[in-house]
């Protein structure tokens, strides 16, 4: 979306971030900065780029003007675009690495997209695995494992589509998936509630693994437990992208202007963007990182290392099955 | 009474008025009012673009019922494009319209959408085919005309440009029927973004030579021309659909969508192009849509078919969908297996019969031999018993 009047239109820190919320984990990485890797996945036009800019509070990516009408019938393959932004969140320094995926789901046949993303995720794990096994480790090793994947769901108002189901099912075991509803300002409040319900029903029905704000094993802090339950009830987050910043009562506000009204991005009644931002960069950044390291990576590691023997066993089994089936048809 | 002018044409002029040719439109009006008309509208687009709501809003009745959750879940993963036809009869001020609405659930909804527009195109061509055949029958009285007069293609408002799927599908559909592109759920784009999106879509349509419906603009009176120009310049139409009545902040009751930040009105030209599209489809251009279908699209189909086929010959079947080919293969395999089994059975039966026959033949031979033996014994006895056995025998 063109802002029209200069680059730093989006410089407007969240007006609600100074309101104290319970359960904010702090890390003492003040000097170096905490690395946090987030991948954004979703079809074009769902507000991914705008979300990126709004999250980082500056125009990281300018809107891509695909003005080439003659090429419109050719589907561009999916790409991985990396952006790094240094953020300061309540005094905590975060090195935010965002991986954008333009081209996802834009083709006529999108089977290949899933494998591409899966390979990317697994490559990062492989690098860490290799690094761990080195005799002399590199102190400056950059951990590029993806800690969270924000998946944009099209606001159809009905329920999940095949591409959503496939996507989250296949990648849920390799990364924390946080489903969000893009362009949620196309749904009335009632429609939004029903849509969220139906999505969560689908997620339960198809057993789709998404990040569901789990309470820690010995979590006895009531506030945290409550907060997690609250967040679970909010899922999936309804996101609205900001187009411009206006000055309202001297405070800058991120808004979308329509002939029938003005949507306030930071208003909790209009969108869940603010809450999501807080979850990603503040309250649950630790949980997301920990789960990636302790559960997801460990699972991959186990699979990979025992995978060599398992692969041989599988091959032997397959050969046996083939033989016996031959015997049966000959009889 | 009749004066001839310089060119020799007879112009009918009398003192009181003409001979009555000017009354023909009134006669036509009476005939059409009595007969009513038949209109088929098709809606194509991904699920969740508001097709059902739009139809119900356009016709102010619930023609298509929204799917229940269970039915929708069944459709989620079945990977096929269905064609559903909803029929309705509309009446307004003694004028009847038999309306057919063709819906296409499953279009563009799956991970792999290759050829998903083929069922749509096939349906359109099949209607032409049916009409063609019916026309060629000796008795042409009760012709059923399901030819599609207009196809609304719902484009998702992604704010950038047309997707490759949209381009391919619209090309295929626009070549066979009156295609009207529509921007769905337009209440998610700000006015500036909407203008830009419309322009981009039209740019792509031009660059890719996609054929869309061009309503005739010029007419006798100024106001109609102006209105038509207005309608044409708004293409592709940005629409919002809603069957519910809500109250605006300034107290009016309108059809619209109520958001926390305001009410998006359906019939407000500042908010969307619904009224223009409704005018195009019904009030001003319905008959043009019908006649363009008959004179241009159907005629094109008829010409190409008649050039290659003889009168009365059935249409040659095209290569089928991949999925159907697989099913066909499976069925064929099963069929050959069954045939093999039956052949085996017959062969065994044949062998049994042959064996039986041989056995019976052998028995017969044995008996035969016995008979022969007895005969020779008799001979022997009779020749032994009397040297001049002639006395006994005679």
Task: Give chain A positions within 8 Å (CB) of B260.
Answer: 189, 269-270
Distance CA A102, CA A79 (A): 6
Distance in angstroms (rounded) separating the CA atoms of residues B178 and B216: 13
Q: Does A247 touch chain B (CB under 8 A)?
A: no
Residue A151 has φ and ψ, to the nearest 5°, of -105, 125
Average pLDDT over residues A218-236: 84
Q: Which chain A residues are Cβ-neighbours of B261 within 8 angstroms? A: 258, 260-264, 270
Tell me which chain B residues have a C-beta less than 8 angstroms from the C-beta of A107.
164-165
Query: Cβ separation of B188 and A183 shorter than 8 Å?
Result: yes
What is the per-residue pLDDT for A148?
Answer: 93
**What angle (nearest 5°) sits at the alpha carbon of residue B112, between those of residues B178 and B333?**
105
pLDDT recorded at residue B92 = 80
CB atoms A66 and B185 under 8 Å: no
Residues A39, A42, A47: CA angle, nearest 5 degrees = 95
What tokens appear for B283 in the block?
Answer: 């009030």
Residue A150 has what pLDDT?
Answer: 94
Q: Note which residues in 202-241 of chain A have CB less than 8 A from chain B.
A: 202, 205
Q: Are B284 and A286 in contact (CB under 8 A)?
A: no
* CB nearest B159 (choices: A45, A69, A257): A45
Q: How confident is the model at residue B331 (pLDDT cuts 50, 70, 90)?
A: very high
The more confident residue out of A70 and B195 is B195
Is the confidence at residue B284, as pLDDT, over 60? yes
User: Looking at the predicted structure, is the pLDDT value of residue A330 above 80?
Assistant: no
Give one word for B20, left, alpha or beta, with left for phi > 0 and alpha for psi -120 to 50. left
CB atoms within 10 A of CB A187: 23
pLDDT in tens, A271-288: 888 889 888 888 889 889
Q: Which chain B residues are Cβ-neighbours of A270 within 8 angstroms?
A: 260-261
Place of tokens 């954008």: A100
Average pLDDT score, chain B: 84
A9 found inside a domain: no
- The pLDDT assigned to A321 comes to 53
pLDDT tens per residue across span B224-272: 888 888 888 888 999 988 888 888 888 888 888 988 888 888 888 888 8
Nearest residue to A152 via CA among A161, A144, A143 = A161
Three-state secondary structure call for residue B97: strand
pLDDT tier, A65 (very low <50, low <70, confident <90, very high otherwise): low
Nearest CA in chain B to A77: B164
Among all chains, which residue has been given the structure tokens 């020779």?
Answer: B376
A119: number of CA atoms within 13 Å, CB side?
7
pLDDT for A16? 46
Residue A233 lies in a domain: yes
Whole-prediction pTM: 0.77
d(CA B88, CA B39): 10
Domain that holds residue A88: 34-330
Report chain A's mean pLDDT, rounded to a whole number.
80
Rounded distance between C-alpha atoms, residue A317 and residue B393, angstroms: 93
Query: What's the pLDDT score for residue A15?
Result: 46
Closest of A221, A116, A230 to residue A174, by C-alpha: A116
Residues 6+ apart with CB under 8 A from A5: none
Asked whether residue A308 carries a pLDDT value surpassing 80, the answer given is no
Set of chain A residues whose Cβ sits within 8 Å of the Cβ of B204? 69, 72
* Most confidently predicted of B268-277, B301-310, B364-373: B364-373
What CATH number has the domain bearing residue A225? 3.40.50.300
Q: How many domains does chain A have?
A: 1
Predicted local distance difference test score (pLDDT) of residue B342: 95
Alpha carbon A219 to its chain's center: 25
* Residue A12 covered by a domain: no
- List the B253-259 sheet strands across, edge first: B245-247, B253-259, B262-265
């Amino acid at each position: 979306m063109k802002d029209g009047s200069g680059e730093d239109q989006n410089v407007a820190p969240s007006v609600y971030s100074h309101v104290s919320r319970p359960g904010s984990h702090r890390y003492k990485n003040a000097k170096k900065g905490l690395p946090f890797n987030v991948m954004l996945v979703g079809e074009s036009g769902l507000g991914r780029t705008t979300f990126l800019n709004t999250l980082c509070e500056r125009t990281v990516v300018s809107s891509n003007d695909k003005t080439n009408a003659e090429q419109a019938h050719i589907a561009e393959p999916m790409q991985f675009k990396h952006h790094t932004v240094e953020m300061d969140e309540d005094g905590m320094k975060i090195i935010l690495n965002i991986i954008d995926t333009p081209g996802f789901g834009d083709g006529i046949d999108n089977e290949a997209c899933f494998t591409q993303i899966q390979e990317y995720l697994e490559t990062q794990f492989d690098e860490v695995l290799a690094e761990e096994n080195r005799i002399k480790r590199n102190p400056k090793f950059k951990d590029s494992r993806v800690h969270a994947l924000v998946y944009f769901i099209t606001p159809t108002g009905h329920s999940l589509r095949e591409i959503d189901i496939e996507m989250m099912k296949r990648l849920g075991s390799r990364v924390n998936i946080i489903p969000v509803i893009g362009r949620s300002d196309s749904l009335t409040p009632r429609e939004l509630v029903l849509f969220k319900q139906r999505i969560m029903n689908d997620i339960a029905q198809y057993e789709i693994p998404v990040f569901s704000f789990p309470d820690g094993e010995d979590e006895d802090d009531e506030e945290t437990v409550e907060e997690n339950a609250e967040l679970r009830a909010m899922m999936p987050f309804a996101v609205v992208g900001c187009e411009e910043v206006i000055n309202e009562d001297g405070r800058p506000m991120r808004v979308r202007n329509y002939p029938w009204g003005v949507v306030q991005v930071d208003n909790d009644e209009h969108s869940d963007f603010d809450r999501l931002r807080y979850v990603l960069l503040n309250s649950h950044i630790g949980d997301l990182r920990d789960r990636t390291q302790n559960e997801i990576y460990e699972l991959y590691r186990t699979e990979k290392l025992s995978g060599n023997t398992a692969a041989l066993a599988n091959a032997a089994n397959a050969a046996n099955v083939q033989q016996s089936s031959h015997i049966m048809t000959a009889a | 009474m009749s004066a001839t002018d310089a060119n020799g044409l007879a112009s009918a002029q009398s003192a009181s008025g003409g001979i009555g040719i000017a009354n023909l439109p009134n006669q036509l009006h009476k005939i059409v009012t009595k007969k009513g008309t038949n209109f088929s509208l098709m809606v194509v687009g991904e699920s969740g673009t508001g097709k059902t709501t739009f139809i119900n809003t356009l016709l102010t009745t619930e023609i298509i019922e929204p799917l229940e959750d269970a039915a929708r879940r069944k459709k989620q993963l079945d990977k096929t494009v269905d064609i559903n036809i909803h029929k309705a009869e509309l009446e307004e001020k003694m004028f009847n319209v038999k309306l057919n609405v063709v819906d296409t659930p499953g279009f563009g909804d799956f991970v792999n959408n290759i050829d998903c527009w083929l069922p749509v195109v096939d349906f359109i061509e099949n209607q032409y085919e049916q009409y063609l055949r019916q026309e060629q029958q000796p008795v042409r009285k009760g012709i059923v005309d399901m030819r599609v007069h207009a196809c609304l293609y719902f484009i998702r408002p992604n704010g950038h440009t047309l997707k490759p799927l949209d381009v391919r599908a619209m090309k295929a559909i626009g070549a066979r029927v009156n295609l009207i592109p529509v921007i769905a759920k337009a209440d998610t784009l700000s006015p500036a973004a909407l203008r830009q999106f419309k322009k981009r879509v039209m740019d792509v349509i031009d660059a890719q030579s996609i054929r869309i419906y061009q309503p005739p603009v010029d007419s006798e009176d100024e106001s109609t021309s102006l209105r038509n120009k207005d309608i044409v310049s708004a293409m592709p139409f940005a629409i919002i659909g809603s069957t519910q009545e809500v109250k605006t902040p300034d107290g009016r009751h309108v059809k619209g969508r109520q958001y926390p930040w305001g009410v998006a009105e359906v019939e407000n030209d500042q908010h969307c192009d619904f009224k223009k599209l409704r005018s195009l489809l019904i009030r001003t251009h319905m008959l043009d849509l019908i006649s363009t279908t008959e004179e241009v699209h159907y005629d094109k189909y008829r010409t190409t078919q008649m050039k290659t086929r003889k009168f009365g010959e059935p249409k040659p079947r095209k290569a089928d969908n991949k999925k159907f080919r697989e099913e066909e293969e499976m069925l064929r395999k099963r069929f050959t297996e069954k045939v093999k089994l039956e052949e085996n059975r017959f062969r065994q039966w044949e062998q049994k019969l042959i064996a039986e026959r041989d056995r019976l033949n052998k028995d017969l031979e044995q008996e035969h031999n016995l008979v022969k033996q007895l005969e020779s014994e008799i001979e022997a006895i009779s020749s032994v018993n009397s040297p001049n056995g002639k006395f006994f025998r005679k």
